Amino acid sequence: MTAPLHEAHPAGPGRALPDTQQGMRRRNLARVMHTVSAEGPLSRAAVASRIGLTRAAVSTLVDELIRSGLLEELGPERPGRVGRPGSALAVSGRGPAGLGAEVGVDHLAVCAVDLRGEVRARAVRHGTNRGRSPGPVVEDLTGLVRQVVAEAEQEGLAPAGLAVAVPGLVAGDARTVVRAPNLGWQDVDLGTLLPVEYPLLVDNEANFGGLAELWLGDGTPRDFLHVSAEIGIGGAVVVDGRLLRGTRGFAGELGHVPVWPDGPECGCGGRGCLEQYAGEEAVLRAAGLEPDGDRVGRLAGRAADGDADVRRALRDAGEALGIALTGAVNLLDPEGVVLGGALAGLAPWLLPSLRAELARRTAGPACPVSVSRLGPEGPLLGAAHSVVRAVLDDPAAVAARG
């Protein structure tokens, strides 16, 4: 009687329907896809042994996935092995693809990722979106989407969905941007503005960044706190391999954790929030620089050159991050903290004071802090991979649509 005591009732989210043969088949199709995706190429026999079903049961599932274009046979395995040669299975490099898009403050980007996880097409448009009204921005984005889709289709790929990362809070409908202060957007329904015929998912860039880290990071644990920055500070909480979304989808707002409760006023209504000390604009201000142009590049360049003001500003930002993270670590007890986005590029100057603050406020070993290798690519990749994961998680849905 250990962990199961605290498990939710089995009829929890995703398990609301009674157990039926049909539901069992769908879940087993997903198991086959995930197994081949993670460990393929694999023979039918190898898949069967890994997921604990009979070879006959697996063959039926595999045949269905091949018919739907989600798996492909690579031909007979090389001779020399014992027994009848099996045909190796691999995830298809054609068929469904995930489209990811990012509406950044300074750029727009779109990419297509196949079921194998490879980026197969990509388009970017540089230029500020700050203060532009949603219509023209979405029009530019739609142009990039068309361009990427055309490229992907030439390679035999078909979009299974479009996921859009935005720098703001997104409503529970996963379409409406409730508030994106650095764009100046409020209550913008991207579902209406974006003329796409496939499923749409809109989410906060920090959430997609956290998911990218979970799925693509190098040795990322299944319980971690992801901290990123563009203008503001974004956070994503991943618990047991799942993104913690919160009641309204607003969880992970690390940027508005109070650090010095009497500190400067913040746009969120609070005072002394982390963003007032460690957001890009706050750091530029503290270093006496203008908050425009290539913000991170300039900070990193000057810090590398030994600029004392910039180094001090980054050290103070690291200290504020350390204080806010102490609270977050006490609440969540994650296996680690991962710095992503712009923070990754500034890590050499943030980390010493950040780690020192965490260590001196923690009895026992402090929570390990690492730096993401995905950097600013995280949200875009996380968006595209969200679509890919949805296909792997329920291949039967694609087969039914196909």
Binding span for a second copy by CB under 8 A among 74-82, 135-143, 293-301, 385-393: 385-393
Question: What is d(CA 383, CA 162) in angstroms, rounded to the nearest whole number?
Answer: 8
Which is nearer to a second copy, 97 or 299 (by Cβ)? 97
Pairing relation of β-strands 200-204 and 224-229?
Answer: unpaired
Q: How far is the CB of 251 from a second copy (least distance, A)?
A: 4
Q: CA 302 to CA 310: how far, in whole Å?
A: 7
Q: Write the binding mask 187 to 216 for a second copy: x where contact by CB under 8 A, - elsewhere.
A: ------------xxx---------x-----
Q: Which of residues 244-263 bind a second copy (CB under 8 A)?
A: 244-261
Strand arrangement, sheet containing 224-229: 242-243, 233-239, 224-229, 336-339, 369-371
Binding flag, residue 384, a second copy (CB under 8 A): no
For residue 170, state whether it binds a second copy (rule: CB under 8 A): no
According to CB under 8 A, which one of 389, 395, 396, 398 is a site residue for a second copy?
389
Only one of the segments 80-88, 104-112, 182-190, 242-250 lies at the binding site for a second copy (rule: CB under 8 A); that segment is 242-250
Are the C-beta atoms of 94 and 155 separated by less than 8 Å? Answer: yes
Q: Which one of the spans 125-133, 288-296, 356-364, 372-380 is the region binding a second copy (CB under 8 A)?
A: 356-364
Binding residues with a second copy: total (CB under 8 A):
89
| CA 193/CA 8 separation, integer angstroms | 39
Cα 164 to chain centroid, rounded = 11
Stretch 49-88 residues interacting with a second copy (CB under 8 A): 51-53
End-to-end, the C-alpha distance of the chain in Å comes to 45
Q: Which residue in the set 131, 136, 184, 241 belongs to the binding site for a second copy (CB under 8 A)? A: 241
CB 59 to a second copy: min, Å:
15
Is residue 223 involved in binding a second copy (CB under 8 A)? yes
- Residue list 286-315, contact with a second copy (CB under 8 A): none
Q: Is 39 in the site for a second copy (CB under 8 A)?
A: no
Q: How far is the CB of 230 from a second copy (least distance, A)?
A: 18
Query: Is residue 401 at the binding interface for a second copy, with CB under 8 A as the rule?
Result: no
Q: In whole angstroms, how close is the CB of 362 to a second copy at the nearest point?
A: 6
Please name the amino acid found at residue 12.
G
Question: Using CB under 8 A, which of the segments 8-16, 137-145, 290-298, 340-348 binds a second copy?
Answer: 8-16
Measured from the CB atom, is 85 or 368 closer to a second copy? 368
What is the smallest separation between the CB atom of 316 and a second copy, expressed in angstroms?
12
Strands lying side by side in the sheet with 185-189:
169-170, 176-180, 185-189
Under the binding rule (CB under 8 A), the answer on residue 174 touching a second copy is yes
* Beta-carbon contacts of residue 52 (< 8 Å; ≥ 6 apart): none
